[in-house]
Amino acid sequence: MRPVVLDTSVVLPAVLSPRGYRRRFWVVLALGALAARRDLLRQDADALRAESASAGGQAGGATLELLAVQAEARYALLREALPEGCPDDWQLVASRPLLAEYERKLREAGPRLDPTLREEDIDVVRQQIAAICVDMTEDFDPELIPSYTSDRKDDPVVHTALLADASWLIADDTKHICTEPGGSTEYQLPGTDRRISAVTFSRFLDHLSDIDLDQVDPSLLEVAFRSSGGG
């Protein structure tokens, strides 16, 4: 698993724009989410079957087994539509405060990015973001975390990335988060040796050597959400 944390400056264009590299990477993250769900359900189904067998009973967990099979089929549907060798280990991690910030920004800035966005659409988009999010960090109070940036509102995304031990924090906010836009901005969790690198999306693309996003169809996001049961 290669966990990534995304700032709102990357997430909003990814979910509201029908094209572009951010949307294409969002599709790759959707594949990672389906892979994680497939693996978790398969692990749980196998464990339940083994537990039933060791107890001397018939193999149980038929419902869980069905869910595992369905998850594999949903993963395969998107996987087969993507370029050969497309990685499925890029996975989105968030936190409760970060998901709340996504929703706040959707309401505040979403209509500027997509003039057709209605109030009732925002909850659907929020659910779609949650569907692609593979894992959540431990909860925290944004008022009680360390100050990492010059804008207190941006500290939760940095704190989330540090708690997640993310491979990358990706943000197009060069004023407060990626203050070294030509390279990476380093952050450290106080009292630990845990560090993360924050980069702009364009800089992140320089490190994305295992997939050619030009070969990823951005319209496959619809397939991903249909596969994941999203709205």
pLDDT tens digits along 153-197: 999 999 999 999 999 999 999 999 999 877 899 999 999 999 999
**Pairwise pLDDT comparison (227 vs 51), residue with the higher score:** 51
Domain extent for 199? 2-33+89-209+217-226
Would you say residue 182 lies in a domain?
Answer: yes
What's the rounded mean pLDDT across residues 5-28?
Answer: 95
- pLDDT score, position 44: 81
Give the CATH number of the domain where residue 173 resides: 3.40.50
Q: CA dist 209 to 205, 212, 218, Å?
A: 8, 7, 19
Q: What is the DSSP letter of 78?
A: H
Q: Which of 112, 124, 148, 111 is nearest to 5 (CA)?
A: 148
Give the mean model confidence (pLDDT) for residues 189-214: 94
Task: Write the single-letter amino acid at 41.
Answer: L
User: Given the DSSP bridges, would you call strands 133-136 and 2-6 parallel, antiparallel or unpaired?
Assistant: unpaired
Please report whether residue 42 resides in a domain: no
User: By C-alpha distance, which of 96, 103, 178, 92 is closest to 137?
Assistant: 96
Q: Taking residues 27-40, report their average pLDDT.
A: 94
pLDDT band at residue 25 using 50, 70 and 90 as cut-offs: very high
pLDDT of residue 53: 62
The percentage of residues in the chain with a pLDDT greater than 70, rounded to a whole number, is: 92
Give the mean model confidence (pLDDT) for residues 55-69: 70
Residue 58 lies in a domain: no
Q: How far apart are CA 125 and CA 132, in angstroms?
A: 11
Query: Which H/E stretch holds residue 99?
Result: helix 96-113
pLDDT for 52 beyond 90: no
Contact criterion met (CB below 8 Å) for 43 and 35: no
Indicate whether 49 belongs to any domain.
no
CA distance 39 to 60: 19
Task: Please indicate, yes or no, if residue 78 is contained in any of the structural domains.
Answer: no
Which token pair is 192? 């630990």
Q: Mean pLDDT throughout 37-53?
A: 79
43 falls within a domain:
no
Confirm whether 70 is domain-assigned.
no
Task: Name the pTM for this structure.
Answer: 0.89
Burial degree of 4 (CB within 10 A; 0-12, 13-18, 19+): buried
Burial (CB count within 10 angstroms: exposed 0-12, middle 13-18, buried 19+), residue 117:
middle
Q: How many domains does the chain have?
A: 1
pLDDT value at 82 more than 60: yes
Cβ(137)–Cβ(72) below 8 Å: no
Q: Are 195 and 187 in contact (CB under 8 A)?
A: yes
Q: Going by C-beta distance under 8 Å and a sequence separation of 6 or more, which residues neighbour residue 220?
A: 27, 30, 78, 81, 82
Tell me whether residue 129 is in a domain.
Answer: yes
